[in-house]
Structure 1
């Protein structure tokens, strides 16, 4: 796991973001709010401790895509208390035919991963062509293998779960099934797998 402060001004509120695979943090950099932002990525392992966040009056968790299951594994045995937990376009079963990314699709992405195939993944994630990005397949392939081997994460409660209608990574019908046990938390969005352009302020994410 990589842990990085994206914004740190000693605000009274902190958002801990468990990001998705390989896309980074630029996709939500436009979101306003003046809060401190701690960004988590690289799920080859989920053992890294977070900084002490007890000095914050409000602590919020936002987990997106493969970050949802990564948080589910990470939180076992840890006592970090969050005032809200939001899951976006992901599930606790990251590789699953009915409640996650279909195994055939996931394994194909991992087995055929190249700099060129990653550009296709970006286009699918944004549901639109994207500028070319430099990309190192080896560590990202290792991350996908680790996610697959780690399997389903332990059950945990969420205050909000977002499902994007145009998600081409986690099929929306799979996420509907994944979150049937927490129907009060579900919100639906006409957006792709990367949905952040639908919002202008972080507060919209958990409201």
Structure 2
């Protein structure tokens, strides 16, 4: 796993973001709320995590998107940190699951037939519109298709080997237009967890900008 500080200014609080599969730092170089450092995690070909990078912070906001929800759940099971809020977005702790995640046949088919064309189609479904796809591509993704295939294969092995975990999330945001993690499956996965719904695709620039900047009610405990 790669852990990259997008902002490190010695603040006592940290925004810790686990991005989804295929992410890189160009995609999430958003401003964050004043008073916070910002650490981005991505590239899950291994789940190795350097916990020393987040030691010493007095408050941590944990934000995870897509399959990053499962990764963060695995990384922090059995570990205690000063969480201010743990917020999951368009993902579940059960990423390969017919009822609570991505349907198994779709996940396996994506991996078995992975190619540049598969990646292009996935990004279109993830973004949901030509405008949003163009915005996504404007961040000039640099990781190769082979690298992304390796990451997807590693995730498939890890999910099969480890399954879900006991990590508890405070809140889940569900995009009602998500075409990757079906909204119905997300609702099933998050029974017993506070849910906020939004009219968003799986990847939505405006949603991530708002969350990283700490705007809106998502970070407010009810």
Q: TM-score, normalised by structure 1?
A: 0.89
More helix per residue: 1 or 2?
A: 2
Deviation at 1:144, TM superposition (A): 1.4
Write out per-residue CA displacement over residues 11-36 of structure 1, whole angstroms, 9 at most, x where no aligned residue.
Answer: 23211111101133444434541321
User: Cα RMSD between the aligned structures?
Assistant: 2.0
Divergent runs of 4+, >4 A = 25-28, 132-135
Gaps of 5+ in 1: none
How far the C-alpha of 1:137 sits from its partner, in A, is 2.1
**Alignment check: 8 A CA contact 1:115 1:135 kept:** no
Q: Which moved more, 1:62-71 or 1:195-204?
A: 195-204
The 5 Å alignment of 1:98-109 reads 98-109=99-110
Cα distance, 1:121 vs. partner? 1.3
Alignment partner, residue 48 of structure 1: 49
Give the aligned length.
205
The TM-score with structure 2 as length reference comes to 0.84
Cα separation, 1, equivalents of 2:47 and 2:37: 22
1:19 matched to which residue of 2?
Answer: 19
Partners of 1:202 and 1:26 in 2: CA distance: 20
Please give the alpha-carbon distance, in whole angstroms, between the structure 1 residues aligned to 2:174 and 2:25: 20
Q: CA separation in 2, counterparts of 1:31 and 1:191?
A: 20
> Structure 2 regions of 5+ residues with no counterpart?
none
- Cα deviation for residue 196 of structure 1 reads 3.9
Residue 155 of structure 2, aligned match among 147, 165, 172: 147
Going from structure 1 to structure 2, the CA distance change for 1:127 and 1:25 (only over 3 Å counts) comes to farther
Structure 1 residues 139 and 27: alpha-carbon distance in aligned structure 2, compared to 1, 3 A threshold: closer
CA deviations 1:141-184 (Å, max 9, x no partner) are 122122222222212211110000000100000000000122xx
